[in-house]
Amino acid sequence: MSILIKKQIEYRLTVGNESKDKIVVTPILSSKQIGPASIDVRLGNQFIVFRRHMLGTFQPLDTSADLKKMQERQIIRFGKPFVLHPGMLALGSTFEYIKIPSNLCCAVEGRSSWARLGLQIATATTVEPGFKGVLTLELSNVGTIPIELYPGVRIAQIIFFIAEAADAACYGETRKYSCPVGPEFSQIEKDEDSKFFKENH
């Protein structure tokens, strides 16, 4: 699988909107965000966190569970930190709006500078051809001290791969996470296998 290098990324960012090769990552605030084979993306200012005081256990296969009652959305002002404590999971998102053409897919990877502090930024890293919106990031602190995360910092990188024989339909409007504008609550209850295993439990 071929990875796009800087020259190819820059070309695809600048071609006209009508081109099937067009990549959209906006806004890019600094040319330093484009690396030898990736684009650095910044942290947005919306977060979804668990209301731990309301939880006993969470049953993902319970389609009647209202996940939004167990989680809450927080908006952090730019210049203020979001504190991620050890063992904590929070959903964040990229500051940038991203649109992937049908002949590419991409992977989201953490930046090593943050990883060395104990921050993991994504466990579901693949972005399918045709996706558009902001990317939800699963932020988890596997270190031993709280980490302050400031909206706007470069938090992750996206690496582009050529998608051989791309499906013209690709990531359509019927998918669960279509055109997100902030971190998305899990929609695991829409998985068909969840219903199957729950009914046959």
The set of catalytic residues is 138
Q: Can you list the positions of beta strands (E) in the chain?
A: 24-26, 39-42, 46-50, 71-75, 82-84, 89-93, 97-99, 104-110, 119-120, 126-127, 132-133, 136-141, 147-149, 154-162
Helices (H), the chain: 6-14, 67-70, 112-115, 192-199
- The amino acid sitting at 167 is D
Residue 93: helix, strand or coil by DSSP?
strand
